[in-house]
């Protein structure tokens, strides 16, 4: 049902100093940047094998990541698993008794389709499932660092 760990999401105060850590020091290639205005977040995606680290910086204090930083400080924010059929997976998880935040998929970064499970059903772990877009699946190598508008 869940194919692999797609990424870990890491809440940071600002993207640029975090890139110094993950791109320069840990040598993960930066493959995508995106500002998702309606989620109040600036995101940077770095490759590690077939998975990713997703750095998330808030666009303001009154955003989900801004509130998370204020409450818990920077650090691990969520884990995401790749799936091949997000509707079928949501239906199976719901049938198994897992409470969902998103009953239906929405558009995530790189035009993926994503949905979050409720942390009350996952031992406090904010858990996302991701069906990558064909485009993201075919994508390799570092993009120009320019930000694109959120696809959501």
Q: Which lies closer to a second copy via its Cβ, residue 5 or residue 152? A: 5
Look at residues 65, 82, 87 and name the one whose alpha carbon lies nearest to residue 12: 65
Nearer to a second copy, 76 or 151 (CB): 76
Q: Compute the least distance from the CB of residue 100 to a second copy, in Å.
A: 12
* 74 vs 152 by CB, closer to a second copy: 74
In SS3 terms, the chain reads as: CCCEEEEEEEECCCHHHHHHHHHHHCCCCEEEEEEEHHHCEEEEEEEECCEEEEEEEECCCCCHHHHHHHHHCCEEEEEEEECCCHHHHHHHHHHCCCCECCCCCEECHHHCEEEEECHHHCCCCCEEEEECCHHHHHCCCCCCCCCEECCC
Q: 64 or 74, CB closer to a second copy?
A: 74
Contact track, a second copy, 25-44, x by CB under 8 A? xxxx----------------
User: Contact between 10 and a second copy (CB under 8 A)?
Assistant: yes
Q: What is the contact mask toward a second copy in residues 69 to 98, using x (rule: CB under 8 A)?
A: ---xxxxxxxx-xx----------x--xxx
Return residues touching a second copy (CB under 8 A).
Answer: 1-5, 7-8, 10, 12, 18, 21, 24-28, 48-51, 72-79, 81-82, 93, 96-98, 119, 121-126
């Amino acid at each position: 049902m869940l194919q692999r760990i797609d990424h870990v999401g890491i809440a940071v105060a600002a993207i640029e100093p975090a890139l110094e850590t993950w791109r320069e020091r840990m040598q993960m290639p930066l493959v995508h940047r995106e500002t998702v205005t309606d989620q109040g977040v600036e995101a940077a995606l770095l490759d590690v094998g077939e998975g990713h680290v997703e750095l998330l910086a808030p666009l303001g204090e009154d955003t989900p990541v801004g509130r998370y930083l204020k409450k818990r400080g920077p650090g691990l924010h969520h884990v995401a698993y790749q799936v091949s059929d997000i509707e079928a997976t949501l239906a199976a998880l719901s049938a198994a008794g897992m409470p969902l935040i998103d009953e239906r998929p929405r558009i995530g970064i790189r035009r993926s389709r994503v949905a979050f499970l409720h942390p009350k059903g996952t031992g406090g772990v904010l858990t996302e499932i991701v069906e990558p877009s064909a485009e993201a699946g075919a994508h390799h190598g570092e993009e120009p660092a320019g930000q694109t508008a959120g696809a959501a």
